[in-house]
């Protein structure tokens, strides 16, 4: 019988006004050990309050509060007795809604800005220095706080850079405390949560596991589910979590699509099964995927083809599992390791563009016959790793570098063929081996190795002219894949990787380093 869900955690709602940092605000709240959810600014206030939030945070956004069509909020939100914290646009919207003044003076502030705290003992700023650096991004400025508010900080340009109303538990700052460039930003946010809203830091990884197990049991009941294992951290943790919830009602399906890295199929078949005891069905679909990808070079089309073929294989596996045990309950659910960054990049965040269709989000076919179970959908990668540790998965699975579900299919720029996959597998294996040998696995978040299949360059090997492919190394450091910077690897490690790849991998005569941050570049090339 399904188990009733445990009591819902105290929730902080992050109201998204189309901000690039909305997901980062939610992340920072969670780092303060308080549960957070993102809701769109278009949600009616009554629906927000129906979620029984213990606090509400208003995000920044690209609009001016005065421009036509700019997002607005009903005044009732500020009269409901729920503590509210406005940031940037959210701060200005609070000011104008409650009778303050926001002017378009033309005096803009972008980037690092000196802030002066004018009331050091305030709820937000107690214990922080009088002068601190914050991250600004605005054109309009608040010149007068609403009645009943105390101005607690200013800059050379903005007379009201923060205000507070302890009686009504309403607070706001003009800057972005959620970004690391605001030197005391996390402390300010925690002051709002703990002191302004009276919340306790009680949300833990154990809480995530407990809540998701209850939710999975309620959703699945006594029916059966299959989970697509890709060999990556996300699908492994999702599978372990669902298995803990419903046991042998879950069958994991590993689709060997021929797009995996060297040795990964063996790792899934042995290490993951040994760690979890899960039922595993392996489907050899290499020929099917290569046939579907034949002649296709466009990255979006590749992602969608791979997503479609995954589902078709899962449907085939579903039919086989039912045929093997026809008297058991139906197989109605598909478990996926979808994360919050997947949703954002696929255009699922409020006001966000479709950067790329992740195979398990924008790449799903419209005639999907499964109900989806996505227990990690609101989590970031580091939170997923913590959940994996809580579930007892081995470190070699939990701490492995992220690997995309479409596999090497999106690390070949050009058509995907067996020969190109074999070539890239060898180059990738050499890079991974050298990074591990150098002890850089934890320092580097991810190191995609990319084959520029449609590009050739002239080289000299064995005293003769060659015309081979370039290989791109893309080492990046990141917290959550929303932003990233390229990793400054030791030159000697780069030299060893380059030498080995050009010596050992056929048809490759050049190795190049991608030193682009995200943004402007994404982590994967496709």
Which residues are marked as active site?
88, 176, 178
List the beta strands (DSSP E) in 100-161.
Answer: 101-103, 109-117, 131-138, 141-144, 150-154
List C-alpha distances in Å: 119 to 115, 123, 128, 149, 294: 12, 9, 11, 12, 66
Q: Are 243 and 278 in contact, with CB atoms under 8 Å apart?
A: yes
Could you count the other beta carbons within 10 Å of the beta carbon of residue 124? 26
φ/ψ of residue 254, rounded to 5: -100, 115
Task: Copy the structure tokens of residue 345.
Answer: 């990049």
Q: Are 66 and 23 in contact, with CB atoms under 8 Å apart?
A: no
Residues 6 or more apart whose Cβ sits within 8 Å of residue 5: 211, 214, 215, 217, 218
Q: Are 476 and 440 in contact, with CB atoms under 8 Å apart?
A: no
Length of the chain (residues): 526
- Cα separation of 371 and 348, whole Å? 18
Sign, Cα dihedral of 330, 340, 303, 290: negative
Sign, Cα dihedral of 505, 511, 515, 521: negative
- Cα separation of 193 and 337, whole Å? 30
DSSP state of 522: -
List C-alpha distances in Å: 42 to 14, 27, 37, 39, 47: 12, 21, 15, 8, 10
Task: Copy the structure tokens of residue 501.
Answer: 């790849």
Could you count the other beta carbons within 10 Å of the beta carbon of residue 436? 10
Q: Are 125 and 151 in contact, with CB atoms under 8 Å apart?
A: no
- Cα separation of 154 and 161, whole Å? 4
């Amino acid at each position: 019988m399904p188990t009733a869900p445990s009591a819902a955690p105290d929730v902080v709602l992050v109201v998204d006004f189309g901000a690039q940092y909305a997901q980062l605000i939610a992340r920072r709240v969670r780092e303060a050990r308080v549960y957070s959810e993102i809701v769109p600014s278009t949600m009616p206030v009554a629906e927000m309050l129906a979620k029984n939030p213990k606090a509400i945070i208003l995000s920044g956004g690209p609009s001016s509060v005065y421009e036509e069509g700019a997002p607005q909020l009903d005044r009732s939100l500020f009269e409901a007795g729920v503590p509210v914290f406005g940031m940037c646009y959210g701060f200005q919207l609070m000011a104008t809604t409650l009778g303050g003044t926001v002017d378009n003076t033309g005096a803009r502030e972008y980037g690092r800005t000196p802030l002066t705290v004018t009331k050091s003992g305030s709820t937000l700023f107690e214990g922080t220095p009088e002068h601190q650096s914050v991250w600004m991004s605005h054109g309009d400025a608040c010149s007068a706080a609403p009645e009943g508010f105390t101005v607690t900080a200013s800059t050379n340009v903005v007379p009201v850079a923060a205000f507070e109303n302890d009686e009504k538990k309403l607070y706001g700052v003009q800057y972005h405390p959620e970004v690391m460039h605001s030197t005391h930003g996390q402390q300010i946010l925690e002051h709002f949560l703990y002191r302004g809203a009276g919340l306790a830091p009680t949300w833990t990884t154990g809480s995530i596991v407990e809540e998701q197990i209850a939710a999975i049991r309620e959703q699945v009941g006594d029916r059966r589910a299959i989970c697509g294992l890709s060999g990556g951290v996300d699908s492994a943790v999702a599978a372990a979590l669902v298995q803990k919830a419903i046991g042998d009602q879950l069958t994991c399906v590993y689709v060997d699509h021929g797009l995996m890295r060297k040795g990964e199929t063996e790792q899934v078949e042995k290490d993951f099964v040994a760690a979890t005891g899960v039922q595993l069905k392996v489907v050899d679909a290499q020929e099917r995927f290569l046939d579907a990808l034949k002649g296709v070079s466009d990255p979006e089309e590749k992602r969608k083809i791979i997503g479609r073929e995954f589902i078709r294989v899962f449907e085939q596996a579903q039919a086989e599992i039912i045929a093997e045990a026809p008297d058991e309950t139906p197989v109605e659910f598909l478990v996926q390791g979808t994360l919050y960054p997947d949703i954002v990049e696929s255009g699922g965040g409020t006001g966000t563009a479709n950067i790329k269709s992740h195979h398990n989000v924008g790449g799903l076919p419209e005639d999907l016959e499964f109900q989806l179970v996505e227990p990690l959908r609101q989590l970031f990668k580091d939170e997923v790793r913590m959940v994996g540790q809580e579930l007892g998965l081995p470190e070699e699975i939990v701490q492995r570098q992220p690997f995309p579900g479409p596999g090497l299919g999106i690390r070949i720029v050009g058509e995907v063929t067996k020969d190109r996959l074999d070539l890239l597998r060898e180059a990738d294996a050499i890079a991974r081996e050298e990074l591990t040998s150098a002890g850089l696995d934890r320092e580097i978040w991810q190191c995609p190795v990319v084959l520029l299949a449609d590009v050739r360059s002239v080289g000299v090997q064995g005293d003769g002219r060659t015309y081979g492919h370039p290989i791109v190394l893309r080492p990046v450091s990141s917290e959550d894949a929303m932003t990233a910077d390229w990793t400054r690897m030791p030159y000697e490690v780069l030299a060893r990787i380059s030498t080995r790849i050009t010596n050992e991998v056929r048809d490759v005569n050049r190795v190049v380093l991608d030193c682009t941050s995200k943004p402007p570049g994404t982590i994967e090339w496709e």
